């Protein structure tokens, strides 16, 4: 009985820490994904003199500026979904946690020029 109580106590301490570590990892991946999409859009404008008007412009080029379409109907990736608004004048990419404070800690936004805001 004492062994079971000790195991339950250890689990009660460890589980919240593991969930917090997973949420931190999801946050880091969301920021990295936003930076990858932003870098692809900024590289595109350097070559084409205007920003891409859709995610397909950067994923469908040969060679592609970005290998994966994170925006168009993609399922959640590590607890975040991505919404991309792209025009010839700029872009806004929003990473939204599926469950705020569970799968991610904040909504992250990347705008033209690679400006990341929480």
- Specify whether the CB–CB gap between 11 and 19 falls below 8 A: no
When divided into structural domains, the chain yields a total of 1
Write down the pLDDT at residue 72.
Answer: 84
Displacement of CA 49 from its chain's centroid (Å) = 26
- Specify whether the CB–CB gap between 108 and 31 falls below 8 A: yes
Checking if the pLDDT of 35 tops 80, the result is yes
| Structural domain for 106, as ranges | 2-117
The rounded radius of gyration (Å) of the Cα atoms in the chain is 19
What percentage of the chain reaches a pLDDT higher than 90?
81
Write down the pLDDT at residue 14.
Answer: 87
| Those residues with Cβ within 8 angstroms of residue 38's Cβ, 6 or more apart along the chain or in another chain | 91, 93, 110, 114
- Average pLDDT on 78-100 reads 95
């Amino acid at each position: 009985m004492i062994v079971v109580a000790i195991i339950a106590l250890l689990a009660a301490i460890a589980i919240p820490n593991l969930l917090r570590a997973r949420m931190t990892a999801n946050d880091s991946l969301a920021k990295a994904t936003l930076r990858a999409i932003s870098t692809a859009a900024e590289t595109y404008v350097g070559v084409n003199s205007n920003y891409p008007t859709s995610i397909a412009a950067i994923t469908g080029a040969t060679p592609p500026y970005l290998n994966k379409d994170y925006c168009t109907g993609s399922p959640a990736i590590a607890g975040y979904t991505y919404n991309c608004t792209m025009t010839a004048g700029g872009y806004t990419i929003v990473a939204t946690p599926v469950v705020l404070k569970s799968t991610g800690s904040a909504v992250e936004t990347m705008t033209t020029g690679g400006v990341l805001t929480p």
